[in-house]
Each structure stands twice: as structure tokens, then as C-alpha cells.
Structure 1
Amino acid sequence: MTYAGSERVVEQLLTVFPEATLSAALVRPDHLPELLGRAEPSFLQRLPGAVEHHEWSLPLMPLAWRARPPLSNVEVVISSSHACAKAVRVADGIPHLSYCHTPMRYAWDFNGEKARFPLPTRVPARALMAGFRRWDRRTSDRVTRFVANSTAVAERIHRYYGRTAEVVHPPVDTERFTPGGERGEDFLYVGRLVGYKRADLAVEAFAGLPHRLIVVGDGHMGPELRARATPNVTFLGKVDDATLLQLYRQCRAMVFPADEDFGISMAEAQACGAPVISVDRGGALDIVEPGVTGWLVPSDDVTALRAAVRRAAVVPLDQAAVRTRAESFSVKTFRRRIRAAVDDVMQDPRPR
């Protein structure tokens, strides 16, 4: 477990349900707030190298959840799952609400995810993922009720599992992320520098533009992107919270060409009044209202992305309208809606 969007959801779940116990496949306490660092890990925690290289443990993840005894003596079980956590064993009669960040991308969209696997492992990994799909579909039947983090994920849940899912967007700290100061002329990218985040598209787009792009984040693609970037692209690596807030407040717009399950950094930018340029897929469809809070372009279309940046540079959007959209993702809204979903499944534990 590292501290990213899904961990922020778990942190809020523990705030709403402070008496809950917490289990995880793997835990890195030094990378987590105290509230999450107390999670009880599975047997994977004891395997050499598993904590530092969790991706190596992927073939054992199903066993990590199924090897635990069924959860009992609780009123309800909530899983926060983007891979295997929804497979946790639950005693008969106890409702299981699964907050699904996405059905396992490795299994259901291997072509889109294969870049994460070293080339020599891709053929056996593809065969392994076929087995994962069958297992993932079977374990979905054991979930009482699904909650999705976006409309796009709800559609995947229906397509892959044949189940409906209520949408409860992840919590955004709209009390900390607020507008302030003068908006500048620079554009901003915030995200890990890994393949599926598509920072490469942003860097390529700005190679033909007179505007400046500031890139926040690190990852294995960092050296390659720095080598390809033109002088108008500046890499800051990781930044502290105060610097990130200032960048959100001052940028002309955030550029984020990734097909995300939700995309919490886009919502954070909007909470600061910054429009967002993203793709017309995934979580951006829930976050960006074209022409009002930002612009959407086709996936992998550098020409369209470049045109959207040019438009954003000369067409200012109403900062108050951008902020208002982000307020629908507030922590307060998340807490209210997730509590209502849990109350509902406890009162009516029939699967949907």
C-alpha cells in the first residue's frame, strides 16, 4: 500500500467508520499516514522484496485475500479494490460493499497495460491474465453491492461483471485546494511519469507551441521525457503540498491526456479554479464540462491536444464556474454518500 488516490479513499472511509479494522495485501508504513499504517498485511508482507516491488507479487494477490479466514463478527465489510481486494472472504449473512476504483486493468485491458510488463514476460503474462479474468468475474459474484468511483468505471463493472454500481466520486480536499492569486500563462501537468499517464503526449504537444509546460511528478519515464522535451518544458519532479497548491492556482490550465478511472489531480486543479484539458474518455467525462470547466480531446491525438492548449491560452473560462464543479467532489459529499450507501446495503443486503 502506497499513498495515492485509492489510499485517500480508505483514509476517508476510516474517518467515517472510526471503529473499523483495516486489512491490506501489503503495507509500507513509512509511506503512509498513521491511520493507514496500522493496516494488517497478508502473508505477502513476509516475502523478500514484496514490499519494495509489489508488482512481483501479482500472481499471489488472489491467494493473499482468499487465504484469510472469512471476516465475521462485523456488521458490514467494505473493500477498496482496483485489483484483488474485493475477493476478501466474508462470512455468510454479512453484506459486502465494494468501492471499485476499476476492475483489474491488467486482466481486462492487457493491450493497454502491457507496457508495464518487461518484454520477455508479456507472453506468459497474457496467459496469466486470461486466468485472472475468469477468477475476477467469479469473485465479483460474492460482492453484495458495488460502488464505482466514476461513470466510466460503473460501465466497466456492468460490462465485465454484469452488475450495476452506484457512482460515488473520490473525495477532493476542496477546503485546502482553493483559488488564490493571479492566474499566469504557464500550463501544468501533474502525475506519475509512467506510460498510462501519457505525460509523453503533453511533452510532444508542447514541442510545437510557444507556451511553457511545467511537469510535476516522477517515474521511470522521467529520463526519456527529459531527453525528448523542448526548452519550454520544465520538470520539477515531486513537489511539496504548498508548491503544488501554488502551481494549481497560477497555471493557465492543467493538461492531463490520460484515460483515468477518475483523475483526482484534475479535480484538485479545478478546485483551485484551473480549467483542465483532458481526453474524452474515462473519469474526465465526469470532471470536465467542455467549454465551461475545460476542454476534451480525442485520445492519442497530439494535434487536437495542441489545438486545445492554443484555445486555452486565449479563451479564459469563468474561474468561479470551474470551482463550483469541483465542489461536487468535496470530502463532505463523499462522506455523506458513502455512509448512505453503507446504510442502504445493511438495510437491504440483496445483491444488485
Structure 2
Amino acid sequence: MIDTQTQPDSTPRPLRVALAHDWLVGYRGGEMVLDAIASLLQRHNHTITRIYTMFDNASPLSPTLDPLPRTVSSLNARPESLRRWLLPRYPKAVEELSARLRRDHASEPIDLLISTSSAAIKSIQPPPGVPHICYCHAPARYLWSQTDNYASPDLKGRLRALGLALFAPRLRAWDQATAGRVDHYIANSTHTANEIRRCYRHDAAVIHPPVRTDFFTPDPATPRGDHLLLVAALEPYKRVDLAIDAALRLNRKLMIVGSGSHEASLRNHAKNNPLISFVGKVSDEQLRDHYRRASAFLFPQIEDFGITAVEAQACGTPVVAQHAGGALDSVIGSSTGSFFQAPTPESLAEAIKQCPTPDSSDHGACRSSALRFTSETFARLMNEAIAQTVNQANR
């Protein structure tokens, strides 16, 4: 296992590095980490040969990622509307990408493979002699931890649940059998490191994702409101329904930022109550303003890390989180937020009442907590992990 407390023997020579990512269909937390890794590789004069991915919709991602060559699986030819039904085909897609990587390596050798994964791409097979680092956001949630949360009451949700029940045992067996293709796991939180140990029986170093604390900052000139804020994809596992019920129980306003397939169901759940407002997608500048104006940020779901909880704290806003998952790394109870134990509206409502007041100064507890997760810290630790891995492989 990589030791993040130990300095590497030396900085490796310029390397040729292949990247692998589950899918490139939008720019969210996983793509932010991929972008940060690609950027630090280029800053250290390493060459990124290409990105291997199961799906790519060719949408713009970032100035760093967009110019990089990409190799996609044959599943990418299927209509986007069918992709969530292709889960049983993921192993074949990854094995196909492994074969492509071996062929590419034969003509243009690489020194290192780095995968960033919360699904199947961690199982990509590196060429012989090439070390493989996996930055793991989570062992596949739909197989190991949140299977029930990927279902919903509608017909599609019930069919999805049935499909998971049928295929999950075989997919879990493959996922576990291929865990040894990774030489060094890096987890995004202590929670994820524990999950990697439980699911794959491998140890993992913890390097938290980078958060843009230089952008998400407090602003004493921005007035605070009394409303609550939630920022999430509107999907069942985000437990937005729990936040709605708790806010209504307390007669508090709740602003919900985000979109997703569950939006209509959640609007129906809120019953057009004027206390609940759905804002939809917003720009980064608008999101920062929402963080700065809220009295508390609600984080009702179990996340593997949860970048939004750190962004809120970076703006001086305390977080009310379930006492589980990545929030245990990022939220300091009674100082930068409060925890609730049971996933019930009553428990969440009580935690909201116990939440500390926001602090819009540069030296407040929330801001200080967020500064543990800067981009600079991430880059330093990842660079050290890369150097250790390459040095060990060359011994």
C-alpha cells in the first residue's frame, strides 16, 4: 500500500501514463478528480498517452482533458437511452479496453496506468510490468452498498431492481476477482478505504479529492438568510425526500439545487408547498452565492466523500450530515456542523436544530475545516503516490 506519510525516494523521470475512467459523459466530481490528476501529470512533464473509457458522448469537459486521445468500448455505439441497461455488459467492455491497452502498449509503451473509478474501470488489466494505481471513489455502489437506492417505485425502477437482483452475484464475483489487477488503491475517504478492504480485501491509502477553496470563499458582504440549502443530483439515493420532510416538519424554507430523473417525483412529494423551492442547475458563481446565503447545508445521503459538503464549509456554511460515509472526514460535529444518526425526518430535523450558526469570516471554523482539502494538498499527495509506485516497480 502507498504510504502517504513517507516521502518518495526520488521524483520519477518523465513518464508515459495511460488514464482510465468509467465514462466521460459530463463533468462532475469524478471528472474533477480525473482533471486534477491529468493536470498534475502535465505540470510534472509526464505524457498522457490516452484515456480509456466505456462511454464518451464527446461533450466538452475541460481544457486539460478535451485534447487527450480517447479509446472507447464498443458499448459506446449503443443509444444513450439504453446505457443504464447495459450493466451486465460492463465486464466485456473492460476486457475489450484491456486488450486495446495491451496492443497500444506494444507499439507505444507506457510506464504507468492510473484509473479513476466508481464502477468497473478499476478492473482494466495493465500490460505486463506496468504498475496500476486506482483512485477509487467507491467500490461499485450498485453492487456492494446501495443496491436498493438505485431502484424507484416506477416501472423502470422496478425493472432496474429486478435486473440487479439477477446479475449482481455474477458481477460481484467478477469485480472481486479482478481487484488484484490494481497494484495500489487510493481511496477518496476513510469510508471508501474501509469499503475497499471489505469488498476487495485490499488496503488503500486515503487522499481526499481536491476542492476549489480558492473559488468557494466566504463573503461578509453577502447577507445570510434563514433558509436551508441542498445541492445534489435528484436521484433516489441522494435522499432529497428526507430533507424535504425535515424542512416541512420544522416549517423552514429549503432551496434545492440540482436536476435529475427523480425531480418530478420529488416535486410531487413536496406537494407544491411554498417552503420548498427547486432551483435546477446553476452556474458555479450562482452556486457559490447560494452557499454564502444559506443558514445551513443539508447532506442527508451517505456519500463516499461529498465535495459539496466541503464547498459549503469553504463558504462559511455549516453542514447537517448523516453520521456515516465521507462526511465523517469532512464535517466536525458541533464545530462545522451537526450529525444525525437515523435516516428519518425526525432525526434530521433535530440535527438541524443543533447545527451551529454560519460564519462568513476567513478564519471561521467552517473555512478552516475546508482548507484541509485544497487542490495543492491533493496534488502534492498524488505526486508522492505516483513517485512511490514507480520507484517500487523499478526496484
Q: TM-score scaled by structure 2?
A: 0.83
Match for residue 189 of structure 1? 230
Report the CA distance shift for 1:248/1:137 in structure 2 as closer, same or farther (over 3 A).
same
**What SS class does the counterpart of residue 295 from structure 1 fall into?**
strand
Following TM superposition, by how much is the alpha carbon of 1:111 offset from its aligned partner in structure 2, in angstroms? 3.9
Q: Does the Cα contact within 8 Å between 2:56 and 2:76 map onto a contact in 1? A: no
How many angstroms apart in 2 are the aligned matches of 1:268 and 1:317? Answer: 13
Match of 2:56 among 24, 27, 30: 27
Gaps of 5+ in 2: 1-23
Query: Which amino acid in 1 is paired with 2:257?
Result: V
How many angstroms apart in 1 are the aligned matches of 2:347 and 2:162? Answer: 34
Following TM superposition, by how much is the alpha carbon of 1:274 offset from its aligned partner in structure 2, in angstroms? 0.6
**What SS class does the counterpart of residue 208 from structure 1 fall into?**
helix
Match of 1:43 among 73, 86, 92: 73
How many angstroms apart in 2 are the aligned matches of 1:31 and 1:198? Answer: 30
Which is worse superposed, 318-327 or 132-141?
318-327
Instruction: Determine if the alignment matches structure 1 residue 5 to structure 2 residue 29.
Output: yes
Following TM superposition, by how much is the alpha carbon of 1:301 offset from its aligned partner in structure 2, in angstroms? 2.0
Match of 1:223 among 254, 264, 275: 264
Q: Does the Cα contact within 8 Å between 2:150 and 2:237 map onto a contact in 1? A: no
Instruction: Determine if the alignment matches structure 1 residue 343 to structure 2 residue 390.
Output: no
User: Residues 110-148 of structure 1: CA distance to partner in whole angstroms, max 9, x if unpaired?
Assistant: 643441663134334213110111111111111100000
Following TM superposition, by how much is the alpha carbon of 1:58 offset from its aligned partner in structure 2, in angstroms? 1.8
Match of 1:261 among 304, 313, 337: 304
How many angstroms apart in 1 are the aligned matches of 2:319 and 2:377? Answer: 22
Instruction: Determine if the alignment matches structure 1 residue 332 to structure 2 residue 353.
Output: no
Query: Which amino acid in 1 is paired with 2:331?
Result: V
Report the CA distance shift for 1:165/1:185 in structure 2 as closer, same or farther (over 3 A).
same
Q: Does the Cα contact within 8 Å between 1:248 and 1:269 map onto a contact in 2? A: yes
How many angstroms apart in 2 are the aligned matches of 1:82 and 1:124? Answer: 19
How many angstroms apart in 1 are the aligned matches of 2:69 and 2:85? Answer: 21
Gaps of 5+ in 1: none
Match for residue 130 of structure 1? 169
Match of 1:236 among 267, 276, 279: 279
Residues 50-69 of structure 1 mapped to structure 2, 5 A cutoff? 51-68=80-97, 69=99
Following TM superposition, by how much is the alpha carbon of 1:48 offset from its aligned partner in structure 2, in angstroms? 2.9
Match of 2:142 among 81, 92, 106: 106
How many angstroms apart in 1 are the aligned matches of 2:73 and 2:225? Answer: 50
User: Residues 38-69 of structure 1: CA distance to partner in whole angstroms, max 9, x if unpaired?
Assistant: 451423354230x4543122222222221132
Following TM superposition, by how much is the alpha carbon of 1:287 offset from its aligned partner in structure 2, in angstroms? 0.8
Instruction: Determine if the alignment matches structure 1 residue 120 to structure 2 residue 149.
Output: no
Following TM superposition, by how much is the alpha carbon of 1:346 offset from its aligned partner in structure 2, in angstroms? 1.0
How many angstroms apart in 2 are the aligned matches of 1:39 and 1:8? Answer: 18
Match of 1:252 among 284, 295, 300: 295
Match for residue 322 of structure 2? 279
Residues 131-170 of structure 1 mapped to structure 2, 5 A cutoff? 131-170=170-209
How many angstroms apart in 1 are the aligned matches of 2:69 and 2:224? Answer: 41
Which is worse superposed, 60-69 or 261-270?
60-69
Q: Does the Cα contact within 8 Å between 1:192 and 1:218 map onto a contact in 2? A: yes
Q: TM-score scaled by structure 1?
A: 0.93
Match for residue 212 of structure 2? 173
Match for residue 12 of structure 2? none
Query: Which amino acid in 2 is paired with 1:27?
Result: D
How many angstroms apart in 1 are the aligned matches of 2:28 and 2:72? Answer: 20
**What SS class does the counterpart of residue 207 from structure 1 fall into?**
helix
Number of residues of Structure 1 aligned to a counterpart in Structure 2 = 347
- For the aligned residue pairs, the C-alpha RMSD in angstroms reads 1.8
Following TM superposition, by how much is the alpha carbon of 1:35 offset from its aligned partner in structure 2, in angstroms? 3.1
Report the CA distance shift for 1:155/1:223 in structure 2 as closer, same or farther (over 3 A).
same
How many angstroms apart in 1 are the aligned matches of 2:64 and 2:87? Answer: 25
Match of 1:300 among 331, 343, 351: 343
Compare the two structures and name the one with the higher strand fraction.
Answer: 2
